[in-house]
């Protein structure tokens, strides 16, 4: 005899109304990473065109690391372990590239790849983006009907919001004219006398200011930081001197190999064997070319990977690590304690000095030989992968749009901190031309206008050509002041922009 069992089917409940939200709305609710991706698709898609699709895929994939061997641990054993796993010393790859350049000196341009020969004009694209963004903002504020006239450009200058200038502001004339034609009585004081009733409350009064506009930053203002016309003294020349530090050992896997490195192990000296970091992050401190006897500043040092690399060259007599927050400095101290042997006796307070300050307020002018200026930025890869501390959070939009202003302030002040003849490297982990070339231009203009400081841009194209087997560089013609590593799936490093500047006077 067959037994029949009752089978109960559970079906997800969809809330139709009330305080509970429907499940499909919750599924498609936008988070901070989604907002960042939408912004990048709109901005970078217009700037980089067809190549953005590949860059986008790489940004949404876990990035590739390199392993920097700790010279204060079991160096030989660590190098052997990494080589047994198939990793390659970057130093050997650079030597091979140098040999190829010597053999093909007349055709050295071929090592820059097809990227250098493909030219696209970022200036025109950013101008178009600015116009499009302004049109969006105008449409959002002014309705698009036949009875309203839209201004060609929004003006957010406070000086033009003062009452004495209202009479000459032509943007309100159409509204006033229509009001007068309709015989509407305008009560300037807007005071209602009870004996005449409350009819005055409903009379038409044209608005002359937007509440809170003085604290609002337009998205289109973000693009205005990118300028191309130089009205200050500037020289651009090739960087002739480049020497890879003899004692610096950094390992990577060949292009297309996405193997993971083994985690660091503790050495006999008590420190960790190697430090893992994004491969593009090694380039700014490497191109800074620190030398023995130099006084060096890392203006925005945390979390500490670039500072540690400069110490691993064994060249530095003194490194000053500065950051604005105590919590970030604590992370930096923790890294140094893990990797520097006899940290308290030999390093802290002597060869390694910590400073907590906004880099815009440092005032040891004309005192540093080299400065690394790795400024806060939109951190393009981070904001697509992590919700926490995301600059695209709605409450941080004003902070995000003012990032170029912060970056230019830091760079301009660091140029003043340099000795005449000293060099700095400015870097970001952003693809934005505004935060990269745009900020360099702004800072150079500021120090020339306000302090009479002139500078020379060092063209690093010859040096980046030596690293073409490891990184994917954007073509130099699209950049005026620097070079950039772009995300690329077979070599998923970056993004990383860097510009080397030498102070003249």
Compute the distance between CA of residue 154 and CA of residue 136 in angstroms, rounded to an integer: 11
DSSP 389-411: T-TTSGGGHHHHHTHHHHHHHHH
CA atoms within 13 A on the CB side of 498: 28
Tell me the CA distances in angstroms from 284 to 33, 287, 375, one per residue in order. 27, 5, 12
- Cβ(380)–Cβ(494) below 8 Å: no
* DSSP-assigned beta bridge partners for residue 470: none
- What Rg do the C-alpha atoms of the chain give, in angstroms? 28
Tell me the CA distances in angstroms from 337 to 56, 312, 326, 334, 348, one per residue in order. 37, 14, 16, 5, 9
Residue among 492, 427, 479 at smallest CA distance from 116: 479
DSSP 117-180: H----HHHHHHHHHHHHHHHHHHHHS--STT----SS----GGGGSGGGGGG-GGGHHHHHHHH
Angle of helix 32-48 relative to helix 122-141, nearest 10 degrees? 130
Nearest-10 Cα torsion for 398, 399, 404, 408: 130
* DSSP-assigned beta bridge partners for residue 251: 67, 89
Residue among 343, 336, 413, 346 at smallest CA distance from 375: 413
Residue among 46, 25, 179, 58 at smallest CA distance from 485: 58
Compute the distance between CA of residue 247 and CA of residue 250 in angstroms, rounded to an integer: 10
Please pick, among 79, 321, 414, 429, the residue that the annotation labels catalytic.
429
Compute the distance between CA of residue 301 and CA of residue 397 in angstroms, rounded to an integer: 25
Measured between its terminal Cα atoms, the distance across the chain in Å is 102
Look-up of token digits 């560089």: 473
* Residues 6+ positions from 26 with CB-CB distance below 8 Å: none
* Residues 6+ positions from 116 with CB-CB distance below 8 Å: 109, 461, 475, 476, 477
Active site residue 377: no
Residue among 433, 502, 442 at smallest CA distance from 474: 433
Residues written for the chain: 505
Active site residues: 429
């Amino acid at each position: 005899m067959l037994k029949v069992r009752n089978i109960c089917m559970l079906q997800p409940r969809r809330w139709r109304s009330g305080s509970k939200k429907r499940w499909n709305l919750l599924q498609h609710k936008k988070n901070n990473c989604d907002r960042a991706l939408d912004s990048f698709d709109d901005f970078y898609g217009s700037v980089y065109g067809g190549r953005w699709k590949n860059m986008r895929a790489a940004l949404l994939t876990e990035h590739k690391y390199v392993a920097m061997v700790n010279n204060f641990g079991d160096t030989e054993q660590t190098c052997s372990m990494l080589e047994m796993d198939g990793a390659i010393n970057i130093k050997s790859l650079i030597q091979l590239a140098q040999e190829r350049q010597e053999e093909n000196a007349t055709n050295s341009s071929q090592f820059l790849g097809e990227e250098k020969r493909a030219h696209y004009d970022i200036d025109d694209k950013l101008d178009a983006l600015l116009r499009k963004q302004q049109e969006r903002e105008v449409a959002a504020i002014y309705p698009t009907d036949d009875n309203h006239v839209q201004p060609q450009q929004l003006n957010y200058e406070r000086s033009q919001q003062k009452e004495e200038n209202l009479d000459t502001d032509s943007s309100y004339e159409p509204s006033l004219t229509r009001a007068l034609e309709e015989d509407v009585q305008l009560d300037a004081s807007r005071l209602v006398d009870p004996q005449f009733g409350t009819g005055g409350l409903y009379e038409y009064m044209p608005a002359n200011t937007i509440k809170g506009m003085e604290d609002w930053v337009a998205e289109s203002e973000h693009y205005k930081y990118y300028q191309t016309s130089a009205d200050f003294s500037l020289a651009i020349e090739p960087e002739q001197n480049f020497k890879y530090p003899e004692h610096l050992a950094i390992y990577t896997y060949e292009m297309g190999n996405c193997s993971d490195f083994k985690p660091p192990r503790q050495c006999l000296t008590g420190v960790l064997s190697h430090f893992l970091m994004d491969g593009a992050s090694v380039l700014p401190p490497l191109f800074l070319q620190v030398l023995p006897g130099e006084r060096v500043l890392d203006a925005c040092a945390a979390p500490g990977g670039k500072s540690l690399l400069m110490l691993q060259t064994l060249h530095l007599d003194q490194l000053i690590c500065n950051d604005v927050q105590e919590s970030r400095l604590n992370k930096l101290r923790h890294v140094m304690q893990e990797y520097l042997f006899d940290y308290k006796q030999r390093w802290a307070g002597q060869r390694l000095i910590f400073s907590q300050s906004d880099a815009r307020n440092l005032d040891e002018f004309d005192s540093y030989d080299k400065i690394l200026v790795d400024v806060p930025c939109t951190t393009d890869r981070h904001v697509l992968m992590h919700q926490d501390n995301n600059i695209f959070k709605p409450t941080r939009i004003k902070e995000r749009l003012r990032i170029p202003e912060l970056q230019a302030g830091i760079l301009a002040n660091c140029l003043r901190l340099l000795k005449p003849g000293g060099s700095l490297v400015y870097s970001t982990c952003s693809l934005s031309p505004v935060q990269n070339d745009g900020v360099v231009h702004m800072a150079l203009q500021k120090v020339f206008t306000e302090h009479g400081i002139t500078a020379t841009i060092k063209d690093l194209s010859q040096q980046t050509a030596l690293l073409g087997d490891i990184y994917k560089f954007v073509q130099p013609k699209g950049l005026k002041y620097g070079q950039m590593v772009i995300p690329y799936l077979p070599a998923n490093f970056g993004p990383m922009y860097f510009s080397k500047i030498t102070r003249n006077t």
